[in-house]
């Protein structure tokens, strides 16, 4: 019996992240593919979770999130970006960043709406748009630096444009927004009803002393934006799946209508622990230097290799051009890299909906130094 004659997501299979991680495990390879650390979070943060459990915080949290955590998020955003979100009506704690992104799209996008996405695009955006009945409209990022071609974005806007999804720091390229990017975005959406969805889960991993240009910094952007972030990326706890969405009350009201029927509430002891942890800003203020040291270690370690490193101003991902090594497709090269050389990477083609004629893979350097050093030894032999 064929129960699914028509799939809602006919082009979607197992994600490349799962495929490459499985292959890495099968081959005993060093996994620099999927974006999670191989080191633990701070033991003191773990202790806060245990304390919350022992204190009896093991039942449902409030639907919108623990009040103390929402207040801590509001305080952090005001401190960093100068924008004051009301913790009661404008901040919602979610089961990770991906859930927040899906929830925002389902809350805002209607059948027939168009949503502009910037390609290469993180793999959850387009399925969310299609499940909402919308149509993705693709704008290619600049090939040299993965900057946004704002004239092309402006040209993609039609009377059906409902939302524009932006991602800074950008996965997979690591590119970041500048103040000029926010200026251009303001100009495009001014006097329109276009909503914005800002994926800012790597907000605290920006290098070389540069600031993170959150959409929250600009009132004209914040008033129409769902701004999404993640504690998993910031505190090395991707398995906890705790994120949040900041948005004006009108948008948050619709967001919460969907959120309550997707997950209702997020892990209670984790929320208590994170609320206490956020009281000390040094935990995220020191993160750029922590990851910049790993970035520099990885880049310098491949300086004399046949890989060509692209700029990496943010995230814990490094793009590498392998055209001096092979003309294989990205998927074929990434597979061979894993099987023959024992290092797993992600083909950047996985972030494109159409074939791309580039030789590019993405490495994750958010690993222990000894892991990076073992991977570098292998990569330098290619």
For the stretch 15-29, pLDDT in tens is 888 888 899 899 999
Rounded to an integer, what is the distance from CA 69 to the centroid of its chain? 21
Can 16-41+285-379 and 56-280 be said to share one CATH topology? no
Burial class (CB in 10 A: 0-12, 13-18, 19+), 294: buried
Tell me the three-class secondary structure of the chain, residue by residue: CCCCCCCCCCCCCCCHHHHHHHHHHHHCCEECCCCCCCCCCCHHHHHHHHHHHHCCCCCCCCCCCCHHHHHHHHHHHHHHHCCCCCCCCCEEEECHHHHHHHHHHHHHCCCCCEEEEEECCCCCHHHHHHHCCCEEEEEECCCCCCCCCHHHHHHHCCCCEEEEEEECCCCCCCCCCCHHHHHHHHHHHCCCCCEEEEECCCCCCECCCCCCCCHHHCHHHHCCEEEEEEHHHHHCCHHHCCEEEECCHHHHHHHHHHHHHHCCCCCHHHHHHHHHHCCCCHHHHCHHHHHHHHHHHHHHHCCCCCCEECCCCECCEEEEECCCCCCCCHHHHHHHHHHHHCEECEEHHHHCCCCCCCCEEEEECCCCHHHHHHHHHHHCCC
pLDDT of residue 113: 98
Domain residue ranges of the chain, discontinuous segments joined by +: 16-41+285-379, 56-280
Per-residue confidence at 329, pLDDT binned at 50, 70, 90?
A: very high
Other C-beta atoms lying within 10 Å of the C-beta of residue 172: 25
* Widest distance between CA atoms in the chain: 59
The percentage of residues in the chain with a pLDDT greater than 90, rounded to a whole number, is 91
CATH number of 56-280: 3.40.640.10
The CATH architecture of the domain made up of 16-41+285-379 is Alpha-Beta Complex (3.90)
- Residues with Cβ within 8 Å of residue 296, at least 6 apart in sequence: none
Report the mean per-residue pLDDT for the chain: 96
Taking only the tens place, the pLDDT of each residue in 18-73 is: 888 899 899 999 999 988 999 999 999 999 999 999 999 999 999 999 999 999 99
At residue 146, does pLDDT exceed 90? yes
Pairing of strands 161-167, 195-199: parallel
Taking only the tens place, the pLDDT of each residue in 147-175 is: 999 999 999 999 999 999 999 999 999 99
Q: Which of 275, 136, 288, 260 is nearest to 197 (CA)?
A: 136
pTM confidence score: 0.96
Q: From the CA atom positions of the chain, what is the Rg in Å?
A: 21
Q: Which of 228, 247, 269 is nearest to 94 (CA)?
A: 228
Q: What is the four-CA torsion angle of 36, 42, 47, 52, rounded to 10 degrees? A: -50
At residue 352, does pLDDT exceed 80? yes
pLDDT of residue 77: 98
β-sheet bridge partners, residue 135 = 114
Q: How far is CA 244 from CA 16, 106, 208, 213, 326, in A?
A: 25, 16, 26, 18, 41
């Amino acid at each position: 019996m064929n129960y699914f004659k028509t799939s809602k997501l006919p082009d979607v299979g197992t994600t490349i992240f799962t495929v490459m991680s499985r292959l890495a495990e099968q081959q005993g390879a060093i996994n620099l593919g999927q974006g999670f650390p191989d080191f633990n979070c701070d033991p003191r943060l773990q202790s806060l979770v245990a304390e919350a459990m022992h204190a009896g915080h093991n039942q449902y949290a409030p639907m919108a999130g623990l009040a103390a955590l929402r207040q801590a998020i509001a305080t952090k955003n005001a401190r960093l970006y100068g924008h004051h979100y009301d913790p009661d009506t404008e901040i919602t704690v979610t089961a990770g960043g991906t859930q927040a992104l899906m929830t925002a799209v389902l809350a805002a996008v209607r059948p027939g709406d168009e949503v502009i996405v910037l390609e290469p695009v993180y793999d959850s955006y387009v399925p969310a748009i299609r499940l909402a009945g919308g149509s993705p409209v693709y704008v290619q990022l600049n090939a040299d630096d993965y900057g946004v071609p704002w004239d092309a974005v402006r040209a993609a806007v039609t009377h059906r444009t409902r939302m524009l999804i932006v991602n800074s720091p950008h996965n997979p390229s690591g590119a970041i927004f500048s103040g000029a990017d926010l200026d251009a975005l303001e100009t495009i959406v001014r006097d329109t009803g276009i909503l914005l969805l800002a994926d800012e889960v790597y907000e605290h991993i920006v290098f070389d002393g540069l600031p993170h240009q959150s959409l929250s910094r600009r009132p004209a952007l914040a008033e129409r934006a769902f701004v999404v972030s993640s504690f998993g990326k910031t505190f090395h706890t991707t398995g906890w799946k705790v994120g949040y969405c900041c948005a004006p009350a009108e948008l948050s009201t619709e967001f919460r209508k969907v959120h309550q029927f997707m997950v209702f509430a997020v892990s209670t002891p984790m929320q208590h622990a994170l609320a206490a942890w956020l009281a000390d800003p040094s935990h995220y203020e020191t993160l750029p230097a922590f990851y910049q040291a790993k970035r520099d270690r990885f880049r310098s370690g491949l300086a004399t290799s046949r890989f060509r490193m692209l700029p990496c101003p943010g995230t814990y991902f490094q793009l590498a051009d392998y055209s001096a090594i092979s003309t294989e497709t990205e998927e074929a090269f990434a597979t061979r890299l894993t099987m023959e050389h024992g290092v797993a990477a992600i083909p950047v083609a996985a972030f494109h909906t159409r074939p791309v004629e580039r030789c590019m893979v993405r490495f994750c350097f958010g690993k222990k130094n000894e892991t990076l050093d073992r991977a570098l030894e292998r990569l330098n032999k290619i």
